A and B are shown apart, each in its own frame.
Chain A
Amino acid sequence: MPESRSHTRTDPRASTELQLEDAWRVVVLNDPVNLMSYVVMVFKKVLGFDETKARKHMLEVHEQGRSVVWVGVRETAEAHVFTLQQWHLTAVLESDEAR
């Protein structure tokens, strides 16, 4: 069975490359309209944050103009961006290459 074992073994470099390729960031940008309480509520609802984490990201958006609220595979990142946009937050999808 050694042959078949070597056939299925994952090359660690390939795995790392795949992980990097698959890393997409959901970024929320500041806007002058949405209330702080609203943004906190949306983060809790859409991303499952607790109050503390939601407030931290809301303040990051407010003070720094943007906050990375989620990182992971593209499909899920797209779903989060879509839902955040449904709530009228300015949310964008960024690949790690754009960093």
Chain B
Amino acid sequence: MKRVEVKLSLPVVAPLLDVIRELSTELQKSLAAPQALHDLDQDFRGAWIGDLLASQNEDLRALLSLFDGEFFTEGVVAFDESNAEPIVRACTAFRLQLRERRLKSLGDEALETGEIDMSGLDEPVRKAFMCYLFLATVQELIIQHLDSTIIGS
């Protein structure tokens, strides 16, 4: 089984985990990307959203489980075929929520280009933006390093 281990800087990443845990709580009962489901009848829509929510929560748990005891002792997280997909999806869910709840003031264009003067940001926004970038980096790492037999086909 192909496995990618990544050594992270504890002092940089540990503070971001507080943000991720807060987001996880917010996302327990709502979808990160609310969807237009006009063509579905009401009962079916309820079941549809319930299934999406269950799937989202499972993904969030997979990402949170990366940051367990080993991370705090070694600073290492590992990706393989068992957790790659849920983690990539969870990163997206957290990034959507960050944009919606923490980073609206920055504007979408700045978020997309990443051209933001970090020194001009308030501490909570700076931390949220760091988290946004960190999660994008995790996604890129997984997409680039785990081959198509694990993810992408």
Binding site for B on A (CB under 8 A): 31-35, 37-38, 41, 44-45, 48, 82, 85-95
Contact = CB atoms under 8 A, between A and B. Distances in A.
Q: How large is the interface on B (under 10, 10 to 19, 20 to 34, 35 or more residues)?
A: 20 to 34
A90 B92 CA distance: 12
Given A32-B99, A33-B99, A45-B153, A85 B35 contact: yes
Contact of A92 (B36, B48, B139): B36
Contacts of B56: 86
A32 B111 contact: yes
Contact of B89 (A48, A82, A86): A86
Given A41-B152, A88-B93, 19 more contacts: A31-B33, A33-B92, A33-B95, A33-B111, A34-B92, A35-B136, A38-B88, A38-B92, A41-B151, A44-B153, A45-B152, A45-B153, A48-B153, A82-B51, A82-B52, A85-B35, A86-B56, A87-B92, A95-B39
Contacts of B152: 41, 44-45
Nearest to B49: A85
Interface string B96-127: 10010000000011011000000000000000
B143 interface: yes
Contact of B33 (A37, A85, A93): A85
Contacts of A92: 35-36
A88 B151 contact: no
Nearest to A41: B152
Contacts of A85: 33, 35, 52
